[in-house]
Amino acid sequence: MLKHTQNLLDIMARLRHPEEGCAWDVKQDFTSLIPYLIEEAYEVVDAIERNDLDDLRLELGDLLLQVVFHSQIAEEQGLFSFEQVAEGICDKLIRRHPHVFSDAVFNTDEERHQAWEQEKAIERQKKNKTAEPDSVLSGVARNLPALIECEKIQDRAANHGFDWPDVLPVFDKVLEELDEVKEAWQSGDQAHIQEEIGDLLLVTVNLARHLNVNAEVALKESTKKFSRRFQYIEQQLEASGLNLKDCELAELDAFWNQAKQALNKK
């Protein structure tokens, strides 16, 4: 094993030592570490989006620490070790790439994708330890961000033929769902409004799929754009001696259009 990898494992074991370790590290378990695992994954994404490669190196280290932390807890309980975690992903990569590690031949990307999905389906079947019936949708993590989960579910269904043949009917479906949201709003039934908003979001994700857009990334970028424009408005109001809450909507809208023009030039 590489020197620094082994050093990291040794440090983690020392931190978890019941008498000589760190009290905070010792009391952690799989569940208590979930927020840190999620946070570190998002911080890796943030470093990538900022193109800060030095920070990316550091954040990947923090994410690796979470893998080592969980592996150490598992080893203490006699479940598995870090070495077995590494062994498992090595085996999976080899299984899923028979065109690289054996004599399989794929003539098109579609053939390669179908073989990948077939292997994943076999793995899901082996992992299914519940009484739930096997489904092509099985195995999608329930705690994913909603947009990512939605996209993965739709991809699974599409891979088995449940999808529109092209994008035009999806545009029509978005408009149909938007009309249904309006009808629900007019009814005043809050539960129905929520349901129809959910349907609108779902079909919007489907539209993004058909246009080869990652819905999660698209929404993130639009949220950032909104924040930049809103902060521009705040700056202009402050420079003018105005208070945000005291302004009429028409004034704010004018500042918003000004922000669009100003920031689009940068």
Domain final residue, candidates 40, 71, 96: 96
Residue 165 falls within a domain, yes or no? no
The CATH number given to whatever domain includes residue 60 is 1.10.287.1080
DSSP string spanning 138-190?
A: TT--TTS-HHHHHHHHHHHHHHTT-S-SSSHHHHHHHHHHHHHHHHHHHHT-H
Q: How many domains does the chain have?
A: 2
Contact 120, 105 (CB under 8 A): no
Q: Percent of the chain beyond pLDDT 70?
A: 95
Structural domain harbouring 56: 3-96
pLDDT single digits (tens) 17-49? 999 999 999 999 999 999 899 899 989 998 998
Q: How confident is the model at residue 131 (pLDDT cuts 50, 70, 90)?
A: low
- Residue 229, in any domain of the structure: yes
Domain boundary among the residues 76, 96, 116 is at: 96
Distance from C-alpha of 52 to C-alpha of 92, rounded to nearest angstrom: 30
Q: Do the domain assignments include residue 29?
A: yes
Question: Is the torsion defined by CA of 163, 172, 222, 247 positive or negative?
Answer: negative
Flag whether 12 is in a domain.
Answer: yes
pLDDT tens digits, residue range 179-202?
999 999 999 999 999 999 999 999
Residue 21 lies in a domain: yes
Domain assignment present for 252 = yes
**Entry pTM:** 0.63
